[in-house]
Structure 1
């Protein structure tokens, strides 16, 4: 195997086409430089330079190897800089998991802050439900999650990003949309209901069941994504309980109605969560600059 000293010697001779000038350029004498070139040619297994008493010139193999040698030397020069940038969080990859609802609410502003704080870090986005994000954070496949509670606070640090109200999504022109007050329990007791999946959308399912008198006999569809729920409402398949951020979807054929008591309670939470054993310097720098604090 050849060394970087041998590559530097070869590059100098190839550019100067003169052993004496190349040795002077490298602050060394000519005999050890000649030995470096000989060792390099032996390691590669072919002649790189044609030399006689009057001239030195590159062989075809030497001409091709010169470009590769320069590339290797450039990579070697950049490697320490790259390592320092990654160690200080100024380079690398940040893997962020997010729920579908956070994707059309807070994800955009957060990515703007990430780009400002660590502009040279590549961001890998993965749309995952909270349970999948937690698994990813535990296994190291994710660095940061935008997720719903609950989560193990002994394992994860977190920052509450925001709270919001739950709203009732109804088809455009629905009778409930004509109310001049927030929707009350009795108003929707006989409505066909599009409900959250108790296994794939556990957070919203548990929250809705806890806060509202759900008539399970009225459930006509069970889905896991807020976007799907709102799309079904637009198709006039029923009504659905969705977070206020769903109003940002802009789907036609849907109206969002306030629910009595939700405007002040704002029970829906979204947290930034990360493993307490974080190892990604880019994440550490981002958290410091955003001034996140464990709750």
Structure 2
């Protein structure tokens, strides 16, 4: 196996096409440089350079070998700095899971913050419901989840990212959208409902049935994604209880009505991560998130 010094020597000669200039570039004399090239050619088993007293030229094999030798030398030069930057969380990978609803509210600003403060960290995104995120975090397939409670606080550290209101989505031409007074639970009693799946959207299902006396005979459709609910509302299939950030979807033909009987901002989104994670990039992201939350509290 050839050495890194031999590869570095070959690159210098191949680029200079002159042993004297290559030796000067490498801060060495010409005889040991010639020996390095000879050893390299013996190891590789082919002639890489054609040389005589007047000229040095690359053989076809030398041209091919030069590309790989350059990559090897560059990688070797970058390796110590990369290791230091990875240890500092400046380089590496972050695998982030997110719920569909967080995708149109918080995810964009978070990715912008990562790009600004950790520009050389690669981000891999996976859309998952909270239960899937929990499994992936425990299996080591995710570094951070944007998830809904509850989750096991003995296994995960967390930070509450934000809370928002729960609103009623109704077709824009629905009589409820034309009321000249506050909406009440009684107004909804006989309305066809588009409900959250009790298995795939358990957080929202539990939240709604805990706060509102649902008439299950009125449930027309059961779905798992907020966007699907809003599309069905726009199509006149019923009304739905959705987080206030659903307005950001910009679906036409839908009005969003607050329920004064619902306490303010009951919908929560948390960042969660494994207590045993060793990813330096995650540690840096968590410090950024916590710093951002602290700044928001101070305002």
Q: What TM-score do you get using the length of structure 2 for normalisation?
A: 0.89
- Describe the superposition over 1:62-116 as per-residue Cα deviations: whole angstroms up to 9, x where unpaired: 2332343223212221222222222211122212111111111122222222222
Kindly tell me the number of residue pairs found equivalent between the two proteins: 293
Q: Secondary structure at the match of 1:181?
A: coil
- Describe the superposition over 1:239-258 as per-residue Cα deviations: whole angstroms up to 9, x where unpaired: 11111111222211111111
Residue of structure 2 in register with 1:260 after alignment: 260
**CA distance, structure 1, for counterparts of residue 9 and residue 252 of structure 2:** 70
1:273 equivalenced with 2:272 (yes/no):
yes
CA shift in 2, pair 1:214/1:48, >3 Å? same
Of residues 224-233 and 159-168 in structure 1, the stretch that sits farther from structure 2 once superposed is: 159-168
**CA distance, structure 1, for counterparts of residue 223 and residue 128 of structure 2:** 15
Residue of structure 2 in register with 1:162 after alignment: 162
Query: Which runs of 5 or more residues in structure 2 are unaligned?
Result: 294-299
Residue of structure 2 in register with 1:92 after alignment: 92
Residue of structure 1 in register with 2:288 after alignment: 289
Whether the aligned pair in 1 keeps the contact of 2:223 and 2:229 (CA below 8 Å) is: yes
- Describe the superposition over 1:176-218 as per-residue Cα deviations: whole angstroms up to 9, x where unpaired: 2222333222211111111110000000111111111111111
Q: Secondary structure at the match of 2:142?
A: coil
**CA distance, structure 1, for counterparts of residue 163 and residue 256 of structure 2:** 17
Whether the aligned pair in 1 keeps the contact of 2:192 and 2:220 (CA below 8 Å) is: yes
Residue of structure 2 in register with 1:148 after alignment: 148
**CA distance, structure 1, for counterparts of residue 81 and residue 50 of structure 2:** 36
Shift of 1:267: 1.3
Query: Which runs of 5 or more residues in structure 1 are unaligned?
Result: none
Residue of structure 1 in register with 2:222 after alignment: 222
**CA distance, structure 2, for counterparts of residue 205 and residue 5 of structure 1:** 64
**CA distance, structure 1, for counterparts of residue 210 and residue 272 of structure 2:** 24
After TM superposition, list the pairs within 5 Å mapping 1:62-141 onto structure 2.
62-141=62-141
Whether the aligned pair in 2 keeps the contact of 1:195 and 1:222 (CA below 8 Å) is: yes
CA shift in 2, pair 1:9/1:248, >3 Å? closer
Of residues 227-236 and 176-185 in structure 1, the stretch that sits farther from structure 2 once superposed is: 176-185
Residue of structure 1 in register with 2:297 after alignment: none
CA shift in 2, pair 1:193/1:57, >3 Å? closer
**CA distance, structure 2, for counterparts of residue 231 and residue 28 of structure 1:** 72
Whether the aligned pair in 2 keeps the contact of 1:158 and 1:293 (CA below 8 Å) is: no
RMSD over aligned Cα, in angstroms? 2.2
Q: Secondary structure at the match of 1:191?
A: coil
CA shift in 2, pair 1:247/1:13, >3 Å? closer
Of residues 7-16 and 120-129 in structure 1, the stretch that sits farther from structure 2 once superposed is: 7-16
Whether the aligned pair in 2 keeps the contact of 1:159 and 1:292 (CA below 8 Å) is: no
**CA distance, structure 1, for counterparts of residue 210 and residue 169 of structure 2:** 19
Q: Secondary structure at the match of 1:94?
A: strand
After TM superposition, list the pairs within 5 Å mapping 1:132-211 onto structure 2.
132-211=132-211
CA shift in 2, pair 1:47/1:217, >3 Å? same
Q: Secondary structure at the match of 1:270?
A: strand
The 4+ residue runs of structure 1 with deviation greater than 4 A are 15-25, 27-31, 52-56
Whether the aligned pair in 2 keeps the contact of 1:159 and 1:293 (CA below 8 Å) is: no
